[in-house]
Amino acid sequence: MCFFPVFLYSIDRKIPGPLTRQNSQKMEGFPASAGAAKGPDKGAVFMLKNEYLQRVYSQTVTRDPDQKEFHQAVLEFLESLDQIIGQHPEYEKKGIVETFVEPERVITFRVPWVDDKGNIRVNRGYRVQFNSAIGPYKGGLRFHPTVNLSILKFLGFEQILKNSLTTLPMGGAKGGSDFDPKGKSDEEVMRFCQSFMTELQRHIGQFVDVPAGDIGVGAREIGYLFGQYRRVRGTYAAGVLTGKGLSFGGSLVRTEATGYGLCYLTQEMLSKMKHDSFQGKTVVISGSGNVAIFACQKATELGGTVVALSDSNGYIHDPKGIDLDVVKDIKLGHRGRIKEYADRVPGSTYTEGFRGIWTIPCDIALPCATQNEIDGEIAGVIVKNGCLAVAEGANMPCRPEAIQAFQRAGVLFAPAKAANAGGVATSGLEMSQNSMRYAWTFEEVDRRLKDIMTNIFHNIYTAAEECGKPGDLVLGANIAGFMKVANTMLSQGLI
C-alpha cells in the first residue's frame, strides 16, 4: 500500500503548495466580495491526504488563481471526497474529479441597453453550464453588482450536487449579470432583460438549459425574460424558464419553496438527530427576501418563534415574534428596507449592521442572506449562546472555519446544497408540470416538496454513516450528490 504525505492548504493562497500548520496560520484571509463578509479568516486550514485530489485542487487554483469563492467550494468538496476516493480508483483512472470541477461551457457576453435618460449602458452577462450528465443544465440567474465568474462558478458547482440530491434529472448551471435592478424603473429593467435574453436564448432550451431566478431576478424579471425568449424564438416553450407567473406556466409553491424546504429538512434533522422539533424554539433568520420570509412563515407554523430578520443595512429584533404580514408589506409590497419594521411594530428594535443579528441568542439559526456571512468568530458567539442547529438557506453563508466550529461543538449543521434545495426541487416540479401541460394544486406540490426534502436529509445522513462519519451532513451531502453524477459520467464516457 502506498502512503502519501498530508498536505495542508489555506484557501487564500493563489498557488497552493505543501504548508505546515504554523505557516498556514500566517496566511491572510481573501478579500470580501461586495455585499458579503470577507473570506475565510487566517487559520482556516484544510487537509487533503490523497495525492490525486491534491493535484486536482492545485490545478484548479493555478488555472484560475483569483477565483476565491470557487476555490472555497471546490476545496470543501474535495475534503469530503478524500474520505472515499481510495475506494474508487476508477475515478482517477478516468479523470472524473478533474472533469467534474471544470465547467462544460462558460459563456460571457455584453448586454447593451438604454436607460430612461437615453444613455447607452453596457453590462456583462454570463452563463456557466457546469455539468449535464444527469439532465439539462439547471440553475438560477443572478443580477447584482457583485456578480463575477468566480461567484457564478461556485454557485454552478454547488448546483450540480444540489440538483443531484433532489433525485430529479437536472444538471448544474448558474448565470447572471453585474446589472443592479435596484433603483431602476420597470422600463429600464425590461430593456435590460430583453437585451440579456436576446443573447442568452442562443444557449438555452427546455432540453438544454433551464434558467430560473436568484438574487435580483424575481417574478418581474422572469416575465420580461420569458417574453423576450418567446418573441425571438417564435415559440411558446414554457419549460425554458422556471419561476414563471402562474398565468404562463409557473408552479404553485415556487415562491415559498426554498424557505419551506429549508424548514422541512431542518425539522427532519432535529427529529432524527435530537428527537426534537421547532416547537417552542427561538429562531433567528438572516435576510428578508423570499427565502427568509417563507422560512419565517414555515418555522412559525411548525411552532417556532422567529425573533429577528435582516437586510444588507441592518437587522430587526422583535422578542415577541416577527409580524410577518408587516415584513411582507415592506419587502414584497413596496421593496422597502427592513428598518421600517421598527417604526411600525411597537416593542421591536432596529440596529445598523447586518452581521450583528447573530449576537441574538437562538435555538435554531437559519442564515438566508448571502455567502460567507458567518465567520469563525460569529460562529463562536452562536455556539456560546446555546444554539442547537444551523441550516443554510443562502448559498454557502458559513465560512469553512464556522462550519468546523459548529461541528466541534456538536451543533447540528445542514449545508446549503441540501438545506436550500427546495427551490430547485420545485423548479423541477414546475418543469414536470410544463411537460404534462398540467398544474398541480398547492397541496400536491407542497407534499412533493416535503417528501423530496425529507428524502434528501435521509440520503445525506445515510451517506455520512456509510463513510464512518455519522452526523457529518456536509460530508454526506457532498458524497451522495457526487456519486450519482460521477457514476453517470463513467457510463457516458469521456465527453
Report pLDDT for 232: 98
Give the separation between CA 160 and CA 477, rounded to whole angstroms. Answer: 11
| Choice among 41-50, 365-374, 473-482 with the minimum mean pLDDT | 41-50
pLDDT digits (tens, 9 = 90+) for 42-99: 444 457 999 999 999 999 999 999 999 999 999 999 999 999 999 999 999 999 999 9
pTM for this prediction: 0.87
Residues 259-271: what's their mean pLDDT?
Answer: 98
Which residue is listed with cell 451517506? 463
Report pLDDT for 25: 29
Burial 289-326 (b: 16+ CB within 10 A, else e): bbbbbbbbbbbbebebbbbbbbbeebbbbbeeebeeeb
Give the separation between CA 126 and CA 107, rounded to whole angstroms. Answer: 6
Average pLDDT, the chain: 91
Percent of the chain with pLDDT over 70: 91
Q: Which segments of 59-214 are extended strands (E)?
A: 105-114, 120-131, 137-143, 172-177, 209-212
Report pLDDT for 31: 30
Report pLDDT for 371: 85
Residues 300-326: what's their mean pLDDT?
Answer: 97
Which pLDDT band holds residue 335 (cuts at 50, 70, 90)? confident
Angle formed by the axes of helices 257-274 and 422-436, nearest 10°? 120
- Residue 317: φ, ψ to 5°: -130, 120
Give the separation between CA 2 and CA 333, rounded to whole angstroms. Answer: 62
Among the listed residues 453, 474, 452, 451, the one whose alpha carbon sits nearest the alpha carbon of residue 464:
474
pLDDT digits (tens, 9 = 90+) for 240-252: 999 999 999 999 9
Q: Dihedral (C-alpha) 79, 373, 109, 255: value to the nearest 10 degrees? A: 100
290 or 4, which is more confident:
290
Helix (H, G, I), strand (E, B) or coil at 57: helix
Give the separation between CA 293 and CA 489, rounded to whole angstroms. Answer: 38
Report pLDDT for 483: 97
Please say whether the beta carbons of 181 and 111 come within 8 A.
no
Asked whether the predicted pLDDT for residue 17 surpasses 50, the reply is no
Angle ∠(360,362,368) on CA atoms, nearest 5: 80
Among the listed residues 488, 446, 383, 470, the one whose alpha carbon sits nearest the alpha carbon of residue 163:
488
Asked whether the predicted pLDDT for residue 361 surpasses 70, the reply is yes
Please say whether the beta carbons of 288 and 478 come within 8 A.
no
Which pLDDT band holds residue 6 (cuts at 50, 70, 90)? very low
14: annotated active-site residue = no
Cell of 491: 457510463
Which residue is listed with cell 425529507? 454
Q: In the chain, what's the furthest Cα-to-Cα distance?
A: 70
* Catalytic site residue from 153, 174, 281, 298: 174
Asked whether the predicted pLDDT for residue 400 surpasses 80, the reply is yes
Give the separation between CA 95 and CA 391, rounded to whole angstroms. Answer: 33
Asked whether the predicted pLDDT for residue 36 surpasses 70, the reply is no
Which pLDDT band holds residue 4 (cuts at 50, 70, 90)? very low
Report pLDDT for 19: 30
10 or 201, which is more confident:
201
Asked whether the predicted pLDDT for residue 136 surpasses 50, the reply is yes
Asked whether the predicted pLDDT for residue 184 surpasses 70, the reply is yes
Report pLDDT for 46: 57
Percent of the chain with pLDDT over 90: 88
Angle formed by the axes of helices 68-81 and 51-63, nearest 10°? 170
